[in-house]
């Protein structure tokens, strides 16, 4: 169809760069061949850099991110273990539900959708209950555009003298905004291929600390396909316990090269700059964010509340049918009242302006009173200033990472 590309303004799957797509177009190869480790061993080493996890290791599973959620739990905990979790969006809710279904004794703190991990509540529970074996946190709640303070979770755990394992969902944050597995004392860090790593869906990565590897030895939860043991035995030699998705591994090689060529710090700065422009655009349209306070603002996804009486699902439908744009819909609790613009992965200023322009038209068509062009203009203004500042001083934090 000579209509130009379908625009993917969702927070995953994200756009796959052409170079990555080409890199995946390979003849099938023998995953037990002598040269296979030449591809895989550097991938493990380089993924550790992305997780900022020097002393632990990283596993790769042929599954979506949800598989690595399960791998993290089933490899390190025991049935009946008490764990501390919080729920404030679709993804934090789903992980809590998985923990319950796997037989953990879940203390779940519910917060309003639009807030993040409640540090004071965590501090209180950890002080009161010394039996807590796992503390869980969703770094970036993709349903509401909320980023939480993981270093803060670690501080609270240390202050309480907790020796629990720290589990973090970094699916829509890793490779896009700062993440420091080792410095933050994260024991299990989950991510998926289709977000910041700019790959198709279908692979998950799990960053594991030395402490979690130790806990694995005494954990008795049933596991097989996701077992660390089988992975350890084969990964060390550059192989897998079963057939890995080899084209995906070639894509990963390429996407890691792209991230390192740009430089992770620059990647984080770019995500902050793009997100800030989108937020200013949304503000200029007179709309509010689902994130309830600037401390929660996510640099990878913006969730926008539609005005009273305007159906967010209708905004998404119009965007899709009239303007070839996919926006993220509101999930469960915020269905109909929130739509989302994803701005992570292979993305630049003009793509964000296109997202705002398309959102403005879709909103207006759905009955919202918005001034066409106001959001785009505010973002343009910001992007011009931030780009000029960056050229003047590439090390500046203007338009840079927080």
Ligand X SMILES: *Cc1c(COP(=O)(O)O)cnc(C)c1O
Of 65 and 114, the one with the shorter C-beta distance to ligand X is 65
Which ranges of 161-206 does DSSP label H, i.e. alpha helix? none
Strand 301-305 with 338-342, pairing: antiparallel
Nearer to ligand X, 171 or 284 (CB): 171
Lookup: tokens for 295? 């401390």
Q: Which residue is nearest to ligand X (CB)?
A: 65
Q: How far is the CB of 397 from ligand X (least distance, A)?
A: 26
We find the least distance from the C-beta atom of residue 192 to ligand X, in angstroms, to be 4
Query: Toward ligand X, which CB reaches closer, 137 or 378?
Result: 137
Question: In whole angstroms, how close is the CB of 148 to ligand X at the nearest point?
Answer: 11
Nearer to ligand X, 190 or 285 (CB): 190
Burial class (CB in 10 A: 0-12, 13-18, 19+), 249: buried
Q: Which two tokens stand for residue 326?
A: 């996919």
Residue 220 Cβ, how far from ligand X at the closest point, in Å? 25
Residue 175 Cα to chain centre, angstroms: 8
Whose Cβ is closer to ligand X: residue 47's or residue 126's? 47
| Residue 401 Cα to chain centre, angstroms | 16
What is the spatial distance between Cα 83 and Cα 78, in angstroms, rounded to a whole number? Answer: 11
Q: Given the complex with ligand X, which of 76 and 176 has the nearer CB atom?
A: 176
Residues 117 and 149 sit within 8 Å (Cβ to Cβ): yes
- 326 phi and psi, to 5 degrees? -100, 115
Closest contact distance (angstroms) between CB of 184 and ligand X is: 17
**What values do phi and psi take at 134, rounded to 5?**
-145, 140
CA distance 232 to 131: 29
Distance CA 105, CA 129 (A): 13
The residue assigned the tokens 């490899």 is: 75
Q: Are 16 and 196 in contact (CB under 8 A)?
A: no
Instruction: Note the residues at the interface with ligand X (CB under 6 A).
Output: 12, 64-66, 91, 138, 140, 142, 169, 171-172, 192
Q: Given the complex with ligand X, which of 147 and 380 has the nearer CB atom?
A: 147
Shortest separation between residue 201's beta carbon and ligand X, angstroms = 6
Cβ closest to ligand X, residue 89 vs residue 238: 89
For residue 328, the 8-state DSSP code is: B
Question: Cα(193)–Cα(170) distance, rounded to whole angstroms?
Answer: 11
Cis status, amide bond into 13, omega within 30 of 0:
yes
3-state secondary structure of 199: coil
Structure tokens at 138: 């969703």
Nearest distance from C-beta of residue 179 to ligand X, angstroms = 13
Nearer Cβ to ligand X (138/259): 138
């Amino acid at each position: 169809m000579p209509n130009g590309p379908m625009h993917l303004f969702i927070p995953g799957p994200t756009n796959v760069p052409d170079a990555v797509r080409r890199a995946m177009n390979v003849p099938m190869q023998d995953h037990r061949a002598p040269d296979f480790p030449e591809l895989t061993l550097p991938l493990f080493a380089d993924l550790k850099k992305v997780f900022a996890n020097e002393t632990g290791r990283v596993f790769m599973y042929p599954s979506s991110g949800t598989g690595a959620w399960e791998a993290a739990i089933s490899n390190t905990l025991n049935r009946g273990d008490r764990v501390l979790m919080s729920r404030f969006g679709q993804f934090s809710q789903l992980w809590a539900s998985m923990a319950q279904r796997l037989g953990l004794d879940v203390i779940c703190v519910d917060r309003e959708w639009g807030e993040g991990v409640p540090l004071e509540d965590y501090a209180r529970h950890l002080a009161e209950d010394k039996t807590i074996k796992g503390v869980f946190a969703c770094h970036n709640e993709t349903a509401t555009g909320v980023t939480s303070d993981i270093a803060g979770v670690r501080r609270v755990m240390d202050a309480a003298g907790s020796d629990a394992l720290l589990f973090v969902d970094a699916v829509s944050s890793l490779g896009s905004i700062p993440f420091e597995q080792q410095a933050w004392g994260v024991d299990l860090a989950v991510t998926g291929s289709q977000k910041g790593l700019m790959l198709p869906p279908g692979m998950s990565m799990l960053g594991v600390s030395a402490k979690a590897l130790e806990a694995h030895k005494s954990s008795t939860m049933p596991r097989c396909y996701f077992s660390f043991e089988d992975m350890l035995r084969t990964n060390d030699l550059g192989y897998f316990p079963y057939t890995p998705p080899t084209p995906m591994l070639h894509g990963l090689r390429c996407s890691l090269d792209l991230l390192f060529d740009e430089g992770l710090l620059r990647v984080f700065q770019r995500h902050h700059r793009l997100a800030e422009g989108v937020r200013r655009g949304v503000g200029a349209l007179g709309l509010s964010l689902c994130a309830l306070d600037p401390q929660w603002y996510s640099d990878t996804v913006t969730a926008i509340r539609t005005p009273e009486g305007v159906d967010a699902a209708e905004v998404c439908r119009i965007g899709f049918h009239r303007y070839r744009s996919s926006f993220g819909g509101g999930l469960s609790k915020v269905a109909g009242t929130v739509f989302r613009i994803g701005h992570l992965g292979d993305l630049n200023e003009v793509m964000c302006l296109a997202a705002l322009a398309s959102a403005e038209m879709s909103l207006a068509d759905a009955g919202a009173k918005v001034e066409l062009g106001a959001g785009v203009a505010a973002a343009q203004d910001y992007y011009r200033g931030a780009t000029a500042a960056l050229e003047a001083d590439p090390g500046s934090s203007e338009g840079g990472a927080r």
